[in-house]
Every structure is written in C-alpha cells, then in structure tokens.
Amino acid sequence: MLSTALQLLTVGLLWGVTNPFIRLGSQGIENVKDTGSRYRNFLAEVRMIGSRLNYWIPFGLNQCGSVLYVWTLRSANITVAVPLANSLSFAFTAITGYLLGEQLPGKKIIMGTLLICCGSILMLFDKLMQEQQIQRIEFN
C-alpha cells in the first residue's frame, strides 16, 4: 500500500509540475492565424507547437505520469486513487505556477484543495487500517 501511495504521489507531482510548463510552452498559439482555410490554420498551429521543445518535454513527462497512473490502478483502490492523484496534481500545479511567477489561486480554492488533500489522506489512512485489521484476522 505504501508503494501505491508513493506512485500516486509521483503521478500528482508529474501531472501538477508539468501543467504550468505546458501552458508556457503553448503560449501564443491563439495568435497563430493564417489567411487561408481552417486546414492551413491547423497546420500553422501544429508547426508552431511541433517546433517547441519547451512544450514537448513537459508534455512527455506529463504522459509518463499518465502511464504510471494507469499502471498504479492495477493495485490501487480507485476510490482512493482518483481523488488523491487529482488533488495532489492541483496542489502541485498551484505551487509550481506560483514559483514561475503566476498568481496564487484565491483563498477559497486553496482551502478547497487543502480539504480535498486532507480527505484523500484520511481515505488512504482508513484503507491502511482496514488492511491491518484483515491481516490480524488472518493471523489469528
């Protein structure tokens, strides 16, 4: 169970830390306008994003987090895994964004994130306690 918790922490970290970098790497895509058709505009956007390593490296790390998440779901209880990974992701996104110069979310969003993280920790703790009780019963 501890390895599952560490895997979910890593997923939240990979997802959360890469989100602000992906956002930075894709800046300016809304300004790409080609005078031709939608098809030409799409190709111009693909060409712009395709040439940016500062987009693709965080995107690749984010996808590694997704692969680890799917791998972790083999052994994790989904009712614990989903809120834990997502709440950690949101917290890490806010922290990383702040370190990169973005504005911190409002007080209500921060409080909601903290409550979700606390609730996820309580669910994880409850799951650990249930497993310990099952092990005690099996040994007796």
Query: pLDDT-derived band of residue 1, with 50, 70 and 90 as boundaries?
Result: low
- Residue 140: pLDDT band by 50, 70, 90 thresholds? low
> Which tops the pLDDT comparison, 126 or 63?
63
Instruction: Supply the pLDDT for residue 35.
Output: 64
Sketch the domain layout of the chain as residue ranges.
2-139
SS3 75: coil
| Residue 131 in this model has a pLDDT that exceeds 70 | yes
Condensed to tens digits (0 to 9), the pLDDT of residues 57-94 reads 999 999 999 999 999 999 888 877 888 888 888 888 88
Q: Residue 4 in contact with residue 78, Cβ under 8 Å?
A: no
